[in-house]
Structure 1
Amino acid sequence: MSGANKVQKREADAEPVPGLFTLVLHTHLPWLAHHGRWPVGEEWLYQSWSACYLPLVRVLRTLAAENRRHLITLGVTPVVAAQLDDPYCLQGMQHWLANWQLRAVEAATMRTASGASPASEPKALRQFGSREHTEAERELAEFDALWRHGASPALRELLDGEVIELLGGPLAHPFQPLLNPRLREFALREGLADAAHRFAHSPTGIWAPECAYSPGMEAGYADAGVSHFMVDGPSLHGDTALGRPVGDSGVVAFGRDLQVSYRVWSPKSGYPGHAAYRDFHTYDHATGLKPARVTGRAVPSEEKAPYDPARADAAVDVHVADFVETVRQRLSAESARIGRPAHVVAAFDTELFGHWWYEGPVWLERVLRALPAAGVRVGTLSDAIADGFVGSPVELPPSSWGSGKDWQVWSGEQVADLVQLNSEVVDTALSTVDKALARGGSLDAPTPRDFVADQILRETLLTVSSDWPFMVSKDSAADYARYRAHLHAHATREISAALASGRDDHAQRLAEGWNRADGLFGALDARRLPGR
């Protein structure tokens, strides 16, 4: 009997639990191409691509080959999709993978200690380097076979096969509650159109940036054709056992089940901190590789033990079993509480699985096999709606999945200057674009497309990305975040000022110059900006 048949037999023999389990992954990074390399910039993209995105597609293709469908709901923001399809980024990724392979060769042939930690001792580093070389070689082959024309073909195959459900989102990931309604509507509609263009699938669900919600936003979602979106558990007052239509809109909000999600990852705990797993923060400085295991939460980097794959693999099995039992118990308890089969949603950043937690992709693959084998039905958010896992309407409070579950990370005193900057830049952009478009048409001819107006909106959307205030509030590369926000604000103002003063040729040259770095969202069309 084959391995797949054995799994199917176990699934048939398992005692089922009521309800449905959905795993939601949110894939997002800011626009990094052409804006620095190290320590923050393109390196962040390439690390995530190699450690998360390639392994995730590999896992999903492997499970699809076992005739498994409706495995996860995958959010891919337009700004990530743009980078994974961008020729410059594709070339950069090829170079990064080749460089990784060279660094692994260096580690595999190391004869002298390259660092102070036990993990950087020559024998340990040689063993580690040999494994890294094998992994880099595999990823180079996969990249050439599946990714050389971008992520869209690989993801489209998974969508066509109903392996995943796709969640879309607004262009450039703005914090929507603080955004001018005209630009909010434009960003969402353009983001959904971008996904349809890339993947030949129009997402009906979205991952609202930062799970942020403001009363009334559901009306905009309904108008844009969105049928469901994600919020954090506290937005539904902790009752996440069913999706809930928001007001009278018919748009369903699904809440992240914190009891289950925090089992994997929380602000203070979770599986990735286990002593056996690879340590994210400890580098071998000669090769740039990460050869140590966590060892202990209080153990300094210079005392970290060498990574042991067998020890880590055993820990993965323990954590798979723990998660499956957690989901079973939660489904049973929630179903009993509400008197009908319940829905449990666990949601995470995709980058957790591989980038922050090296063993995460292996854990995902095993969990997605183990849950059905344990009698847990796995499906997508769309499955939940189709199968009636929807309760009575609810009014949602202003909320997010950030610290405090409110807006403070993006609107607090620490980022008040960025809030003001965003407001001023958006006002400038909308006023300038309105005037530019108004003079472009006539009664006898439609308004032609305006490259300069398009670039103004492109730079404005990059200015208001939610990443910049998040990074400042969390003191994570805060200087880079402020630099990026002000850089795109400057671009918006510079082009707008040239246009407003009648220097059309100069505005065109400025727009072309900025577009060489920020040429994402090529189909963005300022003519579709909603009227005042």
Structure 2
Amino acid sequence: MAREAGMFSLVLHSHLPWLAHHGRWPVGEEWLYQSWAASYLPVTRVLEKLAAEGRTGLVSLGVTPVLAAQLDDPHSLDGMHHWLANWQLRAREAAGSADGDRRALGVREHALSAAALDDFETRWRHGGSGVLRGLIDTGAVELLGGPLMHPFQPLLNPRLRDFSLREGLLDAHRRWGSTPSGIWAPECGFTPGMENGYAAAGVEHFVVDGPALHGDTALGRPVGETDVIAFGRDLPVSYRVWSPKSGYPGHAAYRDFHTYDHVSGLKPARVTGRHVAGGDKSPYDPEAASAAVATHVADFVDVVRARLRSESERLGRPALVVAAFDTELFGHWWHEGPEFLAAVLRALPDAGIDIGTLADARDRGFVGEPIALTDSSWGSGKDWRVWAGEQVADLVSLNDEVVQTALDAVDKERGQSGLRNRVNDQVLREALLTVSSDWAFMVSKDSAAQYARDRAHLHAHAVREITEALMRGRSRRASELASGWNRADNLFPGLDARRLSK
């Protein structure tokens, strides 16, 4: 079979804010366990199975440090084990129902929960780092790192921005034995000058949304005067999958995300129609859903092929197509997503389309002329309005205050002995938790907005409480407070305030 000119690269971005110890239901750890069960378990199974077939360079898999920490956290591992067992019990109860549809639902869900529980107990029980390390070592994936706590970097004090990035890369090295050469910048946020920080930290490439490159995403582009490459998400191809109006997951045959059987807590229905009320939706039919997957895989291959051909003709050289999605789309939001992912990663090469990671794209020369990037993100409007708009002005002000308070305190307490200062470590930990981009996003999108504001103010309070004790000369009290806040989350023990630039 003749090979198509160019290359396709799939990027998956895996992220959740720090949820452990901060509520369970309806907001909190439940988000982690749902995504873990529905996306992280099946997606890694898909990638491992493809790797066992000898396939390499399948995806660039972004895993943020804060998510990686939760996948290794003893509390989260224990909670996940209980969550999976509860899923199985609910499925077993539904399988014994006198109602035929609920019984069929229970039988199906019991098989899924049993497989997930076995997978978790066999491979995940001692943490996710070993699972991901296996995918890295086989060459199945390129791991993309990122800054600690997922801050919106353009709005962050440059000192804390640099510290967060370097600590995030160090954390990745501790977990996986290698430092990522590429990152997924939180929210694809960028402002001019950040490329210099990336270069200094050893970052070789990162992802921006298509409009940041004015839609010309067919090649990676060096940024400014650096060798750091920005790869742009191809929106026409990416939106073919995940468009609110016409994306694949909205097909009538796929399992409906929003409709629950309130007796069992399981999801019994198919989408049926975009304007069909939950109670009127038809029962889910796995065979019909699989048929829809096959149709959409074939369509996606055709879309990628057409895009490669048109972009290669426009450029006069082989082009690159980058499709990027949240990992949580595959399984959590779109139940059939892992099945689609497995099929499409086989179908593309079978159709003569080369696939590879962003690192592969760089090494194979899919790089064009330098570009001067401007302020951008992948949020609404492709600007910063989600994280800096009027609706979150109070959080922007809070972040500025907390960051300055933290930096002033750490600078004042920075000793001459060179010994580690655990109070300073905790002040920076809490400051970074405060400025997580998730809180402003959740407020702007009115998604658990009160939870988000509560979380931001909780961590801000921790910074204020510890630093106030320091200002009053109560060093012992500050140490006690720092230890207590540290125990509350048990997060990033390797964070070291001595690495904060002066």
TM-score over 0.5 (shorter chain): yes
* CA drift at 1:349: 0.4
Aligned to 2:81: 94
Instruction: Give, in whole Å, the separation in 2 of the partners of 1:216 and 1:187.
Output: 16
Q: Secondary structure of 1:388's partner?
A: coil
| Match in the other structure for 2:490 | 519
Name the counterpart of 1:17: 4
Cα shift readout 1:200-251 (whole Å, capped 9, x = no counterpart): 1110100000001001100000000000000000000000000000011110
1:502 equivalent among 458, 466, 473: 473
Give, in whole Å, the separation in 2 of the partners of 1:125 and 1:500. Answer: 61
Q: Does 1:489 pair with 2:460?
A: yes
Match for residue 44 of structure 2 among 49, 54, 57: 57
- The correspondence for 2:418, drawn from 419, 435, 447, is 447
Residue 43 of structure 1: which of 30, 33, 44 is its match? 30
Give the whole-Å Cα distance in 1 for the aligned partners of 2:27 and 2:367. Answer: 42
* CA deviation after TM superposition for structure 1 residue 269, in Å: 2.9
Q: In structure 2, how many angstroms separate the alpha carbons of the residues matched to 1:304 and 1:513?
A: 49
Query: What is the letter of the counterpart of residue 87 of structure 2?
Result: W
Q: How does 1:201-212 map to 2 (within 5 A)?
A: 201-212=178-189
Alignment match, 2:356: 379
Which one of 198, 215, 229 corresponds to residue 206 of structure 2? 229
Structure 1 counterpart of 2:336: 359
Q: How does 1:233-248 map to 2 (within 5 A)?
A: 233-248=210-225
Q: Which amino acid aligns with 2:278?
A: S
Q: Which runs of 5+ in 1 are unaligned?
A: 1-13, 112-121
* Residues 1:295 and 2:272 are matched in the alignment: yes
Matched to 1:317, the amino acid is A
1:398-457: per-residue Cα shift (whole Å, max 9, x none)? 0000000000000000000000000000000000111111xx33xxxx321111111111
Which residue is 2:434 aligned to? 463
Q: Is the 8 A contact 1:459 1:518 kept in 2?
A: no
Contact 1:165/1:382 (8 A) holds in 2:
yes
**Aligned partner (choices 381, 386, 396) of residue 404 of structure 1:** 381
Give the equivalent residue in structure 1 for 2:245.
268
Given the alignment of the two structures, is residue 83 of structure 1 paired with residue 66 of structure 2, yes or no? no
Give the drift of 1:504. Answer: 1.4
The answer on 1:308 being equivalent to 2:285 is yes
Deviation at 1:15, TM superposition (A): 2.7
Alignment partner, residue 7 of structure 1: none
1:73 deviates by: 0.3
Letter in 2 for 1:129: G
- Residue 59 of structure 2 corresponds to which residue in structure 1? 72
Within 1, Cα distance between the matches of 2:378 and 2:240?
Answer: 16
State the match for 1:4 in structure 2: none
> 2:125 matched to 1:148?
yes
Structure 1 residue identity aligned to 2:40: Y
For residue 18 of structure 1, give the secondary structure of its aligned residue in structure 2: coil
What per-residue deviation string (whole Å, max 9, x for no partner) do you get for residues 295-354 of structure 1? 100001111111100010000000100101000000011000000000000000000000
Contact map agreement 1:33 1:517 (CA 8 A) in 2: no
Alpha-carbon distance in structure 2 between the residues aligned to 1:286 and 1:252: 51
Deviation of 1:266 after TM superposition, in Å, equals: 2.2
Q: Tell me whether 492-501 or 508-517 shows the greater mean CA deviation.
A: 508-517
Q: Distance in 1 between matches of 2:487 and 2:261?
A: 35
Give the partner amino acid of 2:402.
Answer: V
- Conserved in 2, the CA contact under 8 Å of 1:265 and 1:271? yes
Please give the alpha-carbon distance, in whole angstroms, between the structure 1 residues aligned to 2:251 and 2:178: 39
Contact 1:167 1:203 in 2 (8 A): yes
CA contact 1:97–1:136 (8 Å) conserved in 2: yes
CA distance in 2, matches of 1:357, 1:235: 27
Q: Deviations over 1:260-291 (max 9, x none)?
A: 00000024330011110111101111111111
Per-residue CA deviation, residues 173-219 of structure 1 (Å, 9 max, x unaligned), is 00000000000000000000000110011101000000010011000
Counting matched residue pairs gives 502
* Structure 2 equivalent of residue 429 of structure 1: 406
Shift of residue 514 of structure 1? Answer: 1.2
What are the residue-to-residue correspondences of 1:473-488 with 2, within 5 Å? 473-488=444-459
Which letter does structure 2 place at the counterpart of 1:449?
R
2:164 is the counterpart of 1:187: yes
Secondary structure of residue in 2 paired with 1:166:
strand
Partner secondary structure for residue 172 of structure 1: coil
Report the 3-state secondary structure (helix = DSSP H, G, I; strand = E; otherwise coil) of the residue aligned with 1:198.
Answer: helix
Give unpaired runs (5+ residues) of structure 2: none
Who is 1:3 aligned against?
none
Task: State the 1:106 CA deviation.
Answer: 1.2
Alpha-carbon separation, structure 2, partners of 1:329 and 1:110: 49
Q: Deviations over 1:108-136 (max 9, x none)?
A: 1123xxxxxxxxxx111100111111111
Measured on the aligned residues, the alpha-carbon RMSD in Å equals 0.7
Partner of 2:14: 27
Q: Secondary structure at the match of 1:73?
A: strand
Give the secondary structure class of the aligned counterpart of 1:253. strand
Percent identity over paired residues? 69
Distance 1:181 1:478 in 2: 27
